[in-house]
Amino acid sequence: MSQKKNPDYSLKDLQPSQFYISQAKLSNIQAWFHKDDLSNFKPLPVKVLDGIPILTDGHTRAVAAILAGLESVPLVYEEDELDWNLYRYCVEQCNQKGIHSPYDLVDRVISAHEYEEKWIGWCNQVHSKLQQNQK
């Protein structure tokens, strides 16, 4: 279901679906990111899930934009059919950790190794658990 208009939210309005940022990924983005020229900035995908605008990807780019002093960036509605139960669970976990906008991720930047362990590892475990529960 394609929604015609691009979402009109500021960064503070978006609910993250992850709770860590990789320092390596952030550094890579900061190497090319220029707040005055967003022509290379791929719009961040947003899905309104249960009435809340959820950031489905691009968390690191959102943090880079915040650190550069921006309050908004180009957004696009998420068109892929993702595992929305997984996203709901991730958002619930973010809320329990006090993460309600990308601004809350600024202080949650960790090393690439920690990111693999704490975030990617956690996602893989949760995804497996949800898959088993659906059987």
pLDDT in tens, 63-103: 999 999 999 999 999 988 888 888 999 999 999 999 999 99
What's residue 23's pLDDT?
A: 98
Place of tokens 């249960």: 50
Please give the tally of structural domains in the chain: 1
- pTM higher than 0.95 for the full model? no
What's residue 1's pLDDT?
A: 44
Asked whether residue 6 is assigned to any structural domain, the reply reads no
Looking at every residue in the chain, the average pLDDT score rounds to 92
Average pLDDT, stretch 98-120? 96
| Half-sphere exposure of residue 10: CA atoms within 13 angstroms, side-chain side | 6
Asked whether residue 1 is assigned to any structural domain, the reply reads no
Asked whether residue 77 is assigned to any structural domain, the reply reads yes
What's residue 135's pLDDT?
A: 61
Asked whether residue 117 is assigned to any structural domain, the reply reads yes
pLDDT in tens, 33-49: 999 999 989 999 999 99
Q: Is the pLDDT of residue 5 over 70?
A: no
Domain CATH for 100: 3.90.1530
Q: Which of 8, 6, 60 is nearest to 33 (CA)?
A: 60
Asked whether residue 26 is assigned to any structural domain, the reply reads yes
Structural domain of residue 38, as residue ranges? Answer: 11-133
Asked whether residue 53 is assigned to any structural domain, the reply reads yes
